[in-house]
Every structure is written in C-alpha cells, then in structure tokens.
Amino acid sequence: MAGWRNVKNNHDHYDATIRGGALRDTPQRRHVYDLLLGNRDHPTATEVFMRAKKAMPSISLATVYNSLEALVACGLVKQVHIDREPTRFCPNLEEHGHFVCEKCGRVFDIEISQGPATRWKLPKGFTVTHHEISLRGTCADCTKNS
C-alpha cells in the first residue's frame, strides 16, 4: 500500500510515541496497536475487541476503548468518522480521506490531491486545524459484480 512506512518502523514509532505521551507500554495497548497494523481495514472498537480476545481472552471492551483512546491521544492512530456510524480506527498517519462502499461496506483510504490551503474557499480569518473527508459510492469490485 502506498505511503506506508514498514511494520518495523511503526513499532519503533510506537515505542517513542507512547512514552512521549507519558503513557505506559502495556501488553493490551501493544496488542491493540499490532492488530490495527496487521489488518488495516478500519475496524470499529467492537471489531478490535473481538479480534483482541483471540490472543488475549481476558481483555475487556472497556480496555480496548481505553487503549484506542491512548493511541489516538498520542497520535499513533486516527479516528475515522463516517456519518454517525461507530467510530473506526486507522493507523495510516498520512493525510488521506476515506471511501465507503455502499455495497460491501469496506472502507478504503483515498489520496487527497492538493494541500488544504487551495482546496476550500474559507472566509477571511478562519483557520483550519483538522479536516475529515468521507466519500460514499461503489468500489471497483462491486461495480464489476453488479
């Protein structure tokens, strides 16, 4: 996948960042982070929980929420919001948008072609700190099979 540092570097980044945020490196957090890196399909907290239990049966949903919150707080993971659906989590730190296929429900990362400055006509005096772009439609696979 384009724009991705490799897994080893992601783990180094984890070590540095988790401590920079004054957070402990706990097994639960690392497990949650590894799951996100290992399957970059934008899971919800509940989906992360179900996957996490396979290798760590005692983990609780609350801990998954706490771990995800910690990872988001120190910038290792981003939240993805699509309408008011459950929040999804994405370890891709490059600037990008998201595309949801209305047929299969999969979420894809989408490259954004230009910088924020030229993209919108903001009134004078407005400053942007974050943006979120979400598209809906039909993915290539579902277009082909319909």
Partner DNA sequence: TTCTCGTTTTAGAATGATTCTTGATCTTGT
Partner DNA sequence: ACAAGATCAAGAATCATTCTAAAACGAGAA
Kindly list the residues in this chain that would bind its own copies in the complex (CB under 8 A): 79, 81, 83-84, 87, 97, 99, 102, 108, 110-114, 118-141, 143-144
CB of 117 to DNA, least distance (A): 31
Candidates 54, 84, 130, 144: give the one binding DNA (CB under 7 A). 84
Specify whether the CB–CB gap between 77 and 64 falls below 8 A: no
Nearer to DNA, 37 or 48 (CB): 48
Nearer to DNA, 73 or 122 (CB): 73
At 25 the three-state DSSP class reads coil
Q: Cα separation of 121 and 29, whole Å?
A: 40
Residue 26 binds to DNA (criterion: CB under 7 A): yes
Nearer to DNA, 4 or 65 (CB): 65
Q: Cα separation of 89 and 51, whole Å?
A: 14
Q: Cα separation of 32 and 45, whole Å?
A: 10
